[in-house]
Amino acid sequence: MTGLQQVRGRSTPAAHAGDERLVAYALAVEAIFGELRAIIGQLSGMLILLQARAARELGDLPDIAIIRERRDRAAERIAHLQPPAGRLGDRGKLQQTVEYIDAALADIPRMRRERAGEMIGSAAARLRAGYRLMQEICDHRIGLTMVDAGNACCTCGKKLS
């Protein structure tokens, strides 16, 4: 792959003979990857709030239901993901990331003031494990990066390649 092209406002691999499957994969996996990246970030923020005691009980917050819906969408997309040769391990790592997110989500409602520190540590460890798996999948050539600066003020409205 030698270049990027703009497809629907996103940088994607330039299509060469035989690259159509990679382009389709890049578009599909980018949405899943972004969803999981956002979920990990949101859950990490919730854990920080719990640790700071700014939020005593997060289990009933509407954010948890929204995260679960996002997680379900990502899991469904993973099930239909068709990685090309050379990217076959991505699906398993994405599925494992969802499992780590599930485990962290299961910890949050059980967090009570007296055991919050222990439970926060457990949930944070699970999120770190999922984050590491996603780092293994990272490939800037197909839009998989752990930091999305595409909408940052420093980009002056330009998409980063």
Report the pLDDT value the prediction gives residue 22, as an integer from 0 to 100.
86
Q: Are 39 and 74 in contact (CB under 8 A)?
A: yes
Q: Is 43 exposed, middle or buried (0-12, 13-18, 19+ CB in 10 A)?
A: buried
Give CA separation, 82 vs 4, 26, 101, 132, in Å: 21, 10, 22, 22
Report the pLDDT value the prediction gives residue 142, as an integer from 0 to 100.
81
CA 133 to centroid of chain Cα atoms: 10
Q: What is the pLDDT along the chain (161 residues), one digit of tens a residue?
A: 444 555 555 554 454 535 788 888 999 999 999 999 999 999 998 888 877 765 555 555 678 889 999 999 999 999 999 999 889 999 999 999 999 999 999 887 777 555 677 788 899 999 999 999 999 998 888 878 887 655 545 555 555 54
Report the pLDDT value the prediction gives residue 154, as an integer from 0 to 100.
54
Q: What is the pTM of this model?
A: 0.75
CA 74 to centroid of chain Cα atoms: 9
SS3 category, 139: strand
Report the pLDDT value the prediction gives residue 32, as an integer from 0 to 100.
94
Q: Are 126 and 102 in contact (CB under 8 A)?
A: no
Query: DSSP alpha helices (H): ranges in 12-141?
Result: 20-51, 62-80, 89-110, 116-137
Q: Are 107 and 125 in contact (CB under 8 A)?
A: no
Report the pLDDT value the prediction gives residue 51, as an integer from 0 to 100.
78
Q: Which of 19, 137, 139, 28 is nearest to 80 (CA)?
A: 28
CA pair distance 116, 22, nearest whole angstrom: 44
